[in-house]
Amino acid sequence: MKTTLSGRRALAVAASVGAIALVLSGCARGGGETPAPTDGETDVAVEASPGITDTTLTFGISTPLTGATAGPGNCTADGALAYFGVKNDEGGITFGDGKTREIQIKTYDDEYNPEKSAANFQQMVADGVFAAGLGLGTPTNRAWREAAIEEGVPQVLVMTGDPIFSSVADSPEQLGLVPIYQQEGAAFGEALAADGQPHKVAALYQNDDYGKGYLEGFKDAIEGASQIEIVKELGYEAAGASNTPNFLEPQITELAATGADVLFHAVSVTPRAIENLQKAAAIGWTPIWFLPSNTASPGGVLTPAGVTADTYPGVYAVGFSDAAAAPPFAESEEGKAYFEAIAEYAQGPEQDGKAFPHCIWSWIGAQILEQAFEKMTEPTRESFMEALRSIDGFEAQFAFGPINTTTDGLPAIQTVSLQKFNGAGYANVDVVG
């Protein structure tokens, strides 16, 4: 079952973030004031923003390239590096102003540390990037959101489901790429309620906008389903989980003691997700699992955890793109071209393009950027943001549904499908069970 979040519901979610709209004043963005026409002049050349010339555009990506989340982090850069590597070899991209440019990607390692991501943004400004984005993480992207607004630097297609990034009033220089957390949580909740069976749910969630967003969506979806009871909720701090092996095993033991038959597992750190899957099996607790899309990879999470189709009654996640690890993908012409590009241009260690879905998501994000580049008629950040927010009905390669950036409060990818792990990959389902 594929679902798309409505604009009205998304705006309500975005409003719940509680951020006050920012009022930007008078300073020009993009490198200075454009001079007024002098007598006799009818056309004045538009002054280009930093990071763009007649032949190149520089795009920055701050993301975890080392540390606990390096696997998916490297993918957020490598998909775009591969896509634009191919495009550059073909001669570049023809922009809306008629000029053909190559896209230069500069990557910055934030180690999933908000302080480092904030410092990376200042380095990107010093390096003169035109725009930045595609990086992984809610706390890391939030760390430089306000600075990007103040500097007038687009922070776009970020890989966080935090709805604040897709609210024009709250985030005029931002746009999210992936579905918001509430939508993923709701997709599982709706399917769990639809099976009509009694369930006891234990919830483990990251104590920030990431974990709380997933849990909010789930709770909203099961409201009124009297057969579903949340028997215990445990939160944890992201900083400790990022750096400490087996950090969440005590919580798994405590939740197992409730006898819950469903575990809502809103955990963002890949090694902790692997450990938790192993721990539950080791102590004989076999609930139905819900995993967020970024920690649900068969190759990157389930296989290392030793999970098979028979380990648990079901492992569910929300998908919104084709899976590179699926055999039909590798056999398709598009899949073959994708893997060739990853092999040629990716920079991550031992990158195969399929262990984590973020490589595909980055490839999709690069296509959306290309659409914006082709539509922007001036070499300015203002023209870019206007073009980026005007994409509607674009059929991106490997995305489940059309791309739409025109709805305030919603990210670029909006169509999701609940999926169940079958031992090799995921298959779309309508009901949990």
0.75 surpassed by pTM? yes
pLDDT tens for 183-232 read 999 999 999 999 999 999 999 999 998 999 999 999 999 999 999 999 99
**Per-residue model confidence (pLDDT) at position 319:** 93
- In angstroms and rounded to an integer, the radius of gyration of the C-alpha atoms of the chain is 22
Tens-digit pLDDT profile for residues 344-400:
999 999 999 999 999 999 999 999 999 999 999 999 999 999 999 999 999 999 999
Q: Answer yes or no: same fold for 2-32+44-179+328-415 and 181-319.
A: yes
Name the residue with higher pLDDT: 104 or 38: 104
The answer for residues whose C-beta is within 8 angstroms of residue 63's C-beta and 6 or more apart is 73, 74, 76, 77, 107, 108, 109, 110, 134, 135, 136, 137, 140, 159
Contact between 228 and 239 (Cβ < 8 Å): no
Does the pLDDT at position 326 exceed 90?
A: no
In the chain, what are the domain boundaries?
2-32+44-179+328-415, 181-319
Give pLDDT, residue 20.
Answer: 28
Distance CA 262, CA 281 (A): 14
For domain 2-32+44-179+328-415, is the CATH number 2.40.50.100?
Answer: no
Q: State pLDDT tens for residues 2-44.
A: 666 544 344 444 444 333 233 333 333 344 444 444 444 445 6
Residues above pLDDT 90, as percent of the chain: 84
Over residues 57-82, mean pLDDT:
97
Residue 51 gets the label, from left (phi > 0), alpha (psi -120 to 50) or beta, of: left
- Taking the C-alpha atoms of residue 127 and residue 60, their distance in angstroms, rounded to an integer, is 9
Rounded to the nearest 10 degrees, the angle between the axes of helix 70-89 and helix 333-345 is 100
The yes-or-no verdict on residue 85 having pLDDT over 60 is yes
Tokens of 45: 């050349």
CB count within 10 Å of CB 17 equals 15
Q: Report whether pLDDT(170) > 60.
A: yes
Q: What are phi and psi of 84, to 5 degrees?
A: -75, -25
State the pLDDT at residue 243. 80
Q: What is the CATH number of domain 181-319?
A: 3.40.50.2300
Residue 282, number of CB atoms within 10 A of its CB: 11
E-only strand ranges, 92-167: 93-94, 100-109, 131-133, 155-158
Q: What is the pLDDT of residue 39?
A: 45
C-alpha–C-alpha distance, residues 331 and 325, integer Å: 11
